Amino acid sequence: MSLTSAQASPAPVPDSSLADFLTAHGLAEPGEAARWTPLTGGVSSDLWRVDLPGRSLCVKRALAQLKVAADWQAPVSRNAFEWAWMGFASRHRPDSVPELLAHDPEAGLFAMAFLPPEHYPVWKAQLLRGEVRPATAGAVGELLGTLHAASAGDAALAAEFATDDNFHALRIEPYLLATASAHPGLTDVLKGLADRTASTHLALVHGDVSPKNILVGPSGPVLLDAECAWYGDPAFDLAFCVNHLLLKSLVVPGGSADLLRSARVLAEEYVRWVDWEPRPALEARAASLLPALLLARVDGKSPVEYLTDDRHRLFVRTVASALLRAPAATVVGVLDAWVTALEAPTETETETETETETETETESGRPA
């Protein structure tokens, strides 16, 4: 969910508890004029921009029922873990998250700084406009790698973020298990990936490293929406982000090559920081998770909104299913398989070529 995403019409304060939250934490004076504007861009929380005299901030509140077509519920306690994850990130990379202002864990809400869109554009919006810069992807990979490295092997963080139930509700079930239900022939593979992911606890995972949750700031990427924060498998974050770049390569006119290059650069920059385990082990987990997540964004509980062409969805199903049955050893291996499939002639093209060859052979008496 972006702090700078498209805004709806200004609205009064959604309920008095939110205004009370601001005054209780000294963020607003009693009776001070406030303009509340709902922000869009996510399904798991309500988010408002609050304009006060001379300043602006954001208030975020977790939802028990997510805003998707499928029945998808999650505990609002995740709001507290998001706040804690952002605190962790701010200690290690202070420019990588918005400034934190106030938190009410019982109400499941917190306040943070508002980042103006003219200085902090949303990465997803840039990518879909065709503004694809592999250097941005490299910076995301570097940031993600440094945060994972800073948290790996930390027993205190592992205890603080033992959020297995949250992660199951927000990621394992709606992505891996729901997709398994939609693809009976891949059930064993997908359930195996779900079990392996759930039982791997190596570093602090953000859980939603998507371009919609990344602002391109003047000092580098800014990460938002850490509601899925979990001490678990860092390969999930890598696969989750690369997944979005691959999917967008199908729909951004003229941007496919740069998006695929961005995916490669992100993965390469990320693995440079892997020192908590053998790199081939992490790469193998990410490479096997990536096709599962590709398939999940078509047939899971949260399909991406921009894959509207049936041919694109079929392409994802075909490539992802093949990679789930015969996994690549590295993320780059997945990218190579994706490129090979993109470059392969379509069924229609093959039929046209065959018809042309037949016509030529008939006219000349021999194959051309």
Could you read off the pLDDT tens digit of each residue along the chain, which spans 368 residues?
A: 445 444 444 455 677 888 889 999 999 998 888 899 988 645 567 889 999 999 999 998 877 654 444 444 455 667 889 999 999 999 999 999 999 999 998 888 899 999 999 999 999 999 999 999 999 999 999 999 999 999 999 999 999 999 999 899 889 999 999 999 999 999 999 999 999 999 999 999 999 999 999 999 999 999 999 989 999 999 999 999 999 999 999 999 999 999 999 999 999 999 999 999 999 999 999 999 999 999 999 999 989 999 999 999 999 999 999 999 999 999 999 999 999 999 987 654 444 344 434 343 434 333 33
Q: At what angle do helices 331-343 and 234-248 cross, to 10 degrees?
A: 20
> What's the one-letter identity of residue 154?
D
Interatomic CA distance for residues 344 and 367, integer angstroms: 23
User: What pLDDT sits at residue 62?
Assistant: 78
**Residue pair 361/368 in contact by the 8 Å Cβ criterion:** yes
- The verdict on residue 293 lying in a domain is yes
> Which CATH number does the domain housing residue 182 bear?
3.90.1200.10
- The verdict on residue 138 lying in a domain is yes
Q: At what angle do helices 279-299 and 187-198 cross, to 10 degrees?
A: 130
| 175-193 burial: b if 16+ Cβ within 10 Å, else e | bbbbbbebbeebeebbeeb
Q: Is 277 exposed, middle or buried (0-12, 13-18, 19+ CB in 10 A)?
A: middle
- The verdict on residue 39 lying in a domain is no
For β-strands 214-217 and 100-104, DSSP reports them as: unpaired
Task: Kindly list the distances between the CA atom of residue 289 and the CA atoms of 96, 156, 175, in Å, as whole numbers in the listed order.
Answer: 26, 27, 11
> Residue 68: which residues within 8 A CB-CB, separation 6 or more?
43, 301, 302
User: What pLDDT sits at residue 126?
Assistant: 97
Task: Kindly list the distances between the CA atom of residue 186 and the CA atoms of 9, 189, 275, 291, in Å, as whole numbers in the listed order.
Answer: 45, 5, 33, 12
- The verdict on residue 356 lying in a domain is no
User: What pLDDT sits at residue 42?
Assistant: 54
**Residue pair 226/15 in contact by the 8 Å Cβ criterion:** no
Structural domain count, the chain: 1
- The verdict on residue 363 lying in a domain is no
- Tell me the β-bridge partners of 36: 11, 50
For β-strands 203-205 and 214-217, DSSP reports them as: unpaired
Rg (CA), the chain: 22
Tokens representing 347?
């069924």
User: What pLDDT sits at residue 244?
Assistant: 98
User: What pLDDT sits at residue 364?
Assistant: 37
Domain around 282: 116-347
Structure-token match 């939802």, residue found: 63
Q: Which helix (H) or strand (E) holds 221?
A: strand 220-223
Nearest to 287 by CA among 318, 341, 324, 340: 324
- The verdict on residue 303 lying in a domain is yes
- The verdict on residue 302 lying in a domain is yes
Predicted TM-score (pTM) of the model is 0.87
Positive or negative torsion for Cα 19, 21, 25, 30: positive
Tokens representing 352?
């046209």
Other C-beta atoms closer than 10 Å to the C-beta of 302 total 19
- The verdict on residue 30 lying in a domain is no
Tokens representing 357?
């060859």
